[in-house]
Amino acid sequence: MLSTQRIVKTSTGAVLALVFAPATASASWGYEPPTSESSDFTALCGSEGPDAPYTEPPYTASSTDLDACPTSIAPSTCTGPFCVSGHCAGINPLHEALNSCTGSACCLSGSVVDGVVDVSPYLNRPSGWALSADTSVDGSTNVDDSPGIAQAIECAASLTTTRRTVAFPAGRYVMRTPLRPHYDDLTLEGPEVYPDTEPGDPDTATLVALPCNPEQYPGVIQVSRPDESVVPAIDGLWIRNFQIELTDGPRATANGGIQLNHCENCEVENVILRYAPPSSQVPACKPSNLEGITFAVGAWGTIRNVIVDGTPKGGIYLATVPELNPTLGATVVENCEIKNITGPVGAAGIKILTANVVVRNCEVHHNLLHGSTAYGGHGLWIAGQASDGPGYTGAVPENVVIEDSYFHHNGGSGVMLVSNLASLRPSDISLVGVKSAYNGNYGVHVQAGTDVTFQDLWSWGNGYYGVYLQSRTTSFPSTALRVDNVTLENPVVFNNLLRLTSGSYPGILIEASDITIDGGAFARCGTDSSRGRQYKSIQQKCWKSGLTGAEVLFYPEDNVISGVSTSGNTAPEVATCTL
């Protein structure tokens, strides 16, 4: 039962003015593509190039000693009189189960104006912890703001206005377990946040996750109906203008700082989410299954003006279960920056394992897999996904568009298309105006995909090939569907193969059929060793594919290459059977 004592008091009118104040000029969100570019070799290799003089090395992983990693971390505690009894013990109950009220009975007098609920009167805090930006509250053992905020959400849900809003005034909020705002047409909103907002800015609302049980609920917002397979999806939940700090996460079952399941027309906007543990951690020892922002189980909507910094497993994760939402709407991810995703599993910037997605004007960089021999650390990972169990089919990305985005300094590949399913693969994938540079492996690596188009792709300074189209696999029978019907229009590929110290290699390696390359520029600028080993433009090769002992030799067929120009690279080669 919640305490009736209300220590924190704020004028509702003041908080409404603060939350809905007009935006002032500040830095822009996301990536802004250059307004004009030239693939002329003089411009490409000279001072007008995209980041001349090309002295950056590719971003690569280093080995890490795993023996120092703790097997578990003591959970956050809340033992004071203002904490709910037993709240941090065992499996945490839902907040609404802790409330002594339902519906309009949850509303406090004077806290509601025109469909907006001021959250501050609902906070249960001892007198020494008034709402402020004071970071020392993180170390308290007698502050838990999540049950009080949950009551404010219950109040908002009872209102009859078209859209209900829970307004968070500036300050620091302690979340021992996450909020569950599973109501339609509901907004959670703080004061305006900008991309250059500093951590803990006193003029913003910062939600700090100090999870009692990081294996179960590590984040600040977990949206899910009690029975996702029966009740309708949540419709129109908006989360806006927050800073979020995550301090711990799961090592067994994947979860996120913001986890939206079966949520339609939902939005996450103007949010800066950082992984900020109380003490420094070696990347290989970070919680392996903590994502940043997750749309899953048929969720779709908009992720706009977001920065995700430092989460271990992934930055933005989009997935679905087709049977739970057969009429999946479109998800738009725009004006986002995903960076420093470092951990022992995955460690990818943006992961797309669903259909109907648009990503535009995003920058994804410095993501790196640590302490593992697994292949990961990609900037963009578009992948087929195995089913969630009996009765469910696998999810396959299709109808995906990536526009005007920059993937650089990732430990894996800048862009990766793959599938762990023999009969399903990404399809109808379009990348327009994408740049991929200084990644540890490939600029673009397609291991599985059909009906894939790259228009005006730029790929340079990568550790290995600028583009690798690879049908070869030893994980599936030779009949498995892998790579075909891929088109590259006017690619610009130069100065790749920086990790190799000898030999002559192509900017694009093709081990696939039904490939079209129309136009494009291929170059190696200068003669010094820092410019990589890309001496060839395009090379086609035969490949063997299939399970060990049952491999089949394949020849590239129906590949068309035309209009290619080169500088310091040889002309495109005809297919060979050099294996």
Q: Is a pLDDT exceeding 60 seen at residue 66?
A: no
Residues counted in the chain: 579
> Does the global pTM surpass 0.95?
no
Counting residues of the chain whose pLDDT is more than 70, the rounded percentage is: 84
Could you tell me which residue, 421 or 121, shows the higher pLDDT? 121
* Stretch (H or E) spanning 56: none
Longest dimension (CA), the chain: 79
For 6-63, what is each residue's pLDDT tens digit? 333 344 454 455 454 544 445 789 998 888 777 877 777 765 555 555 567 898 876 5
576 close to 541: Cβ distance less than 8 angstroms:
yes
Residue 39 confidence (pLDDT): 80
For 32-48, what is each residue's pLDDT tens digit? 888 877 787 777 776 55
User: Hey, what are 274's tokens?
Assistant: 């950082």
Could you tell me which residue, 78 or 540, shows the higher pLDDT? 540
User: Which range (116-125, 401-410, 528-537) has the least confidence?
Assistant: 528-537
Q: How far is CA 423 from the centre of its chain?
A: 26
Mean pLDDT (the chain, rounded): 87
Beta bridge partners of 118: 167
540 close to 575: Cβ distance less than 8 angstroms:
yes
For 219-259, what is each residue's pLDDT tens digit? 999 997 666 555 678 999 999 999 999 999 988 888 999 99
Residue 411 confidence (pLDDT): 95
**Mean pLDDT to the nearest integer, 482-508:** 96
User: Which range (179-193, 212-226, 526-540) has the least confidence?
Assistant: 212-226
**Maximum mean pLDDT: which of 93-102, 278-287, 376-385:** 376-385
**Mean pLDDT to the nearest integer, 114-125:** 95
CA 479/CA 501 separation, integer angstroms:
36
Residue 408 confidence (pLDDT): 96
For 293-319, what is each residue's pLDDT tens digit? 999 988 999 999 999 999 999 999 999
**Mean pLDDT to the nearest integer, 452-467:** 96
Residue 208 confidence (pLDDT): 97
**pLDDT classification of 170: cutoffs 50, 70, 90:** very high
**Mean pLDDT to the nearest integer, 550-572:** 95
294 close to 319: Cβ distance less than 8 angstroms:
yes
Please identify which residue in the block is written with the tokens 């469910």. 392
CA 547/CA 477 separation, integer angstroms:
5
- Cα 38 to Cα 164, 391, 406, 433: the distances in Å are 50, 52, 17, 13
Residue 2 confidence (pLDDT): 33
User: Hey, what are 365's tokens?
Assistant: 């960089």
Residue 437 confidence (pLDDT): 94
**Mean pLDDT to the nearest integer, 334-353:** 96
